[in-house]
Amino acid sequence: MKWFVYNVLFAAGYAAMLPFFLNRMRRRGGYRARMGDRFGRHPAEIAARLKALRENGAKPVWIHAVSVGEVQVAGQLMRAMREVAPGVRFVFSTTSSTGWKIAEKEVSAADVLIYNPVDFPAFVNRAFAAVDPCAVILTETEIWPNFIRRVQRAGVPLYLVNARISDRSAPRYRRLRWFFGDCFRAFSRIWAQSDLDRRRILDAGGDAAAIEVSGSVKFDVARRNEAKERELRAWVGEGNVLLGGSTWPGEDELMLRAYKRALAADPALKLVIAPRHFEKADAVEANVLAAGFACRRRSRGADAPAKRPAGAAADAREVFLADTTGELMGLFGIASVAFVGKTVSAHGSQNMIEPCLCGVATVVGPNTENFRPVMSDLLASAAIDQQLDAAGVEAALAKYVADPEARRALGAKAVEAVARRRGATARIAREIAEALGMA
């Protein structure tokens, strides 16, 4: 009965959200590609490759991730599993066009990339039959009940890696443990990011014997890209760089205010803003021009001229707008001081491990719920500067621009803190490979 209720409610919710999905499709363009995948119907070439994987005597591991960060976690896990089980093959699924672009860089030529089916039984069953995996790995918070139930009914091992339960989701899971308990107990093994996440999974009906606290796998994910750093340095030019990484609406204005303040201490300072969603770049550009700066957009080409505000002098100072996908890590590599977005004007936070790995003096706002265990570790090591509001963030950014010794000291602590917490991915990869008889 509960599955009937879930399917009815999910259908109603999906229908209500359909206009949002269609609008996102329109804005992001690539979202409409491979639409058949979402109904378990793959193009002929992909269907043939999936059939070949099924028939070669070694079934694939199906790994699923959604956001950019989760896709990178999955990619790191795949690399670690290939080291202990070189013959392993993966079917990688995601649900967003942004996740797809990153996933294309993570899969090998022997793997297959698909969109995950919508969580209706008919679509899930069709996709599962096409993939026919030997194991399924989900990342972080990907709890799709019909999909999980199908994996369990097939007797296929199911794993949840880097598991976390957000503050907003925890009460809902606890209230509905009569339903979600079945989902969490279907996992053969769950690796939780923190003791709090483990407790929340237990409150939702999870099996204590199956849950281990591994720490955040994201400490293993970040990797510097020196070639990309050189390319971006050539685009920005020499001098210290103040970076707003993965900013949300409202945070680009914060960065512009901080920049004006910091220029008094460093007139040669460069400002780079990398918005989280590139389709919002036009609005960011408008804010840059309104602040009196010229705007040089990465998407228009490295040599494209900057757009200047009306009446501005030919030598108006430029702000660099990084409205491209997959270059944020390179930007952190050339930054002197960085702000991590979705921590002031929105809740949740983006990944602060990346600038810390690069030794950047990193400032965040108060809203870091999605990275609670990571922030706990970094704050305990005095490796990151967290401020309570926008004014505090602006002041902190200006302080680190003006004080080279302070930013070097904070950056050094950040590098050390990240290095001490690496290694979870390799341990998890070996445990999965050994459980599947692949190691």
How much is the average pLDDT of 22-50?
79
Q: What's the pLDDT at 116?
A: 93
Q: What's the pLDDT at 135?
A: 97
Confidence (pTM): 0.81
pLDDT at 31 over 60: no
How many Å apart are CA 149 and CA 128, to the nearest integer?
A: 11
Least confident of 16-25, 51-60, 358-367, 390-399: 16-25
How far lies 6's CA from each of 9, 10, 11, 125, in Å? 5, 6, 8, 17
Q: What's the pLDDT at 250?
A: 95
pLDDT at 68 over 90: no
Query: pLDDT exceeding 70 applies to what percent of the chain?
Result: 96
Q: What's the pLDDT at 306?
A: 87
How much is the average pLDDT of 352-366?
97
Condensed to tens digits (0 to 9), the pLDDT of residues 169-183 reads 999 999 999 999 999
pLDDT at 194 over 70: yes
Q: What's the pLDDT at 89?
A: 94
Of 373 and 127, which is predicted with more confidence? 127
HEC string for the chain: CHHHHHHHHHHHHHHHHHHHHHHHHHHHCHHHCCHHHHHCCCCHHHHHHHHHHHHCCCCCEEEECCCHHHHHHHHHHHHHHHHHCCCCCEEEEECCHHHHHHHHHHCCCCCEEEECCCCCHHHHHHHHHHHCCCEEEEECCCCCHHHHHHHHHCCCCEEEEEECCCCCHHHHHHHCHHHHHHHHHCCCEEEECCHHHHHHHHHCCCCHHHEEECCCCHHHHCCCCHHHHHHHHHHHCCCCEEEEEEECCCHHHHHHHHHHHHCCCCCCCEEEEEECCHHHHHHHHHHHHHCCCEEEEHHHCCCCCCECCCCCCCCCCEEEECCCCCCHHHHHHHCCEEEECCCCCCCCCCCCHHHHHCCCEEEECCCCHHHHHHHHHHHHCCCCEECCCHHHHHHHHHHHHHCHHHHHHHHHHHHHHHHHCCCHHHHHHHHHHHHCCCC
Asked whether 220 and 425 are in contact (CB, 8 A), the reply is yes
Least confident of 46-55, 227-236, 242-251: 46-55
Structure tokens at 131: 């993939």
Average pLDDT for the chain: 91
pLDDT at 141 over 80: yes
pLDDT at 317 over 60: yes
Contacts of 420 (CB under 8 A, 6+ apart): 381
How many C-beta atoms lie closer than 10 Å to residue 240's C-beta? Answer: 18
pLDDT at 29 over 60: no
Q: What's the pLDDT at 439?
A: 75
Condensed to tens digits (0 to 9), the pLDDT of residues 392-428 reads 999 999 999 999 999 999 999 999 999 999 999 999 9
Q: What's the pLDDT at 299?
A: 92
How far lies 42's CA from each of 38, 95, 162, in Å? 9, 14, 29
Asked whether 265 and 240 are in contact (CB, 8 A), the reply is no
- Chain centroid to Cα 74, Å, comes to 10
Q: What's the pLDDT at 32?
A: 63
Q: What's the pLDDT at 393?
A: 98
In the numeric block, the tokens 């989280």 are attached to 276
pLDDT at 98 over 90: no
Q: Is 115 exposed, middle or buried (0-12, 13-18, 19+ CB in 10 A)?
A: buried
Structure tokens at 236: 């920005």
